[in-house]
Structure 1
Amino acid sequence: MRNAFRVGLVGAMVAVYGVTGGPAGATPPGPGVTGTVLFQKTVGGTDYIYREITLPAHQSTGWHYHDGNLYAVVKQGTLSHFHSDCMSDGVYPRGSAFVEKGGTGNVHIGRNLGDTPVVLDVLYVLPHGSPLSEDAPNPGCDFQ
């Protein structure tokens, strides 16, 4: 199933992006966390952005949400994902795929609790002109 998801994701990106490249993206919140936009294309009123994100050991994305859905595959490391109720809503080792639903009711944080950098391949499907993420305050969890 994971390989089928990955193959489908890559196929969808090729169909949408062709050979179009995009500029480098902004760095997500969190020290040392980096993100690079690999492809970007607008179709109708929807932006499709394919990005690689790296979280160094013991770092996080910061609390945030997205205006649309994200589809991600973990290339390296293990990502621990937490929703605004402070409970884990998933632990994703290398090769795992997951979806982040958009909207203000889906505030979350991705954390690298390990000693190896986490590398994610992420397809953002956003309303045209939306930021990659919207910062959100810590909902009261005793971690960042």
Structure 2
Amino acid sequence: MRKLALAAVAATVTAATLFAPAVASATPARGVTATVLSQWTAGHTDYVLRKITIAPGSSDSPGTTGWHTHEGNLYGRVLEGTLTHYKSDCSVDGVYHQGDSIMEPAGADHVHEGRNEGTTPMVLEVLYVLPHGAPLADDAPNPGCSFD
């Protein structure tokens, strides 16, 4: 009886795995470290100041934030290195060098990825301006670009 029950469970799990709809998975970050420098809340808005470092990688596997969106606007400044910023149509919408500023708009229609395609660490200071309680970022699947 026990063997029959285990076989039924195994068959159910196998069928669920084979016939379940495919789920788009987020692209993972590589080589990213971050430190919260300061955070506060005013009214219904959270402000988080972070220092983000993206390590260099190889030419075919650079350090990356992975594809993601934000529920609020972000304002950043490159402290070191170079940030290459991609939007969801796979085009580069900016290459930012030391001293440059970047703004990332809020919303699920602004899927993007930041990459360090250089040979030295890229360091960015970022102010997140988010609805109270929102995550810093929402992971997104690769929108169809030939790179991850």
For the superposition of Structure 1 and Structure 2, which TM-score range results when normalised by the shorter chain? 0.7 to 0.9
**Correspondent of 2:137 among 105, 127, 133:** 133
> Aligned to 1:124, what secondary structure does the other structure show?
strand
Aligned Cα root-mean-square deviation (Å):
0.7
The answer as to whether partners of 2:31 and 2:64 remain within 8 angstroms in 1 is: no
Which residue number in structure 1 is paired with residue 52 of structure 2? 53
Calculate the TM-score normalised by the size of structure 1. 0.79
The answer as to whether partners of 2:30 and 2:66 remain within 8 angstroms in 1 is: no
**Correspondent of 2:88 among 84, 88, 103:** 84
**Correspondent of 1:106 among 106, 110, 123:** 110
The answer as to whether partners of 2:80 and 2:97 remain within 8 angstroms in 1 is: yes
How far apart in 1 are the matches of 2:118 and 2:147?
15
Which runs of at least 4 in structure 1 moved beyond 4 Å after TM superposition? none
Q: Percent of aligned pairs with the same residue?
A: 59
1:43 and 2:42 equivalent?
Answer: yes
> Aligned to 2:46, what secondary structure does the other structure show?
strand
Q: Which runs of 5+ in 2 are unaligned?
A: 1-27, 57-61
**Correspondent of 1:71 among 59, 71, 75:** 75
Which residue number in structure 1 is paired with residue 66 of structure 2? 62
Calculate the TM-score normalised by the size of structure 2. 0.77
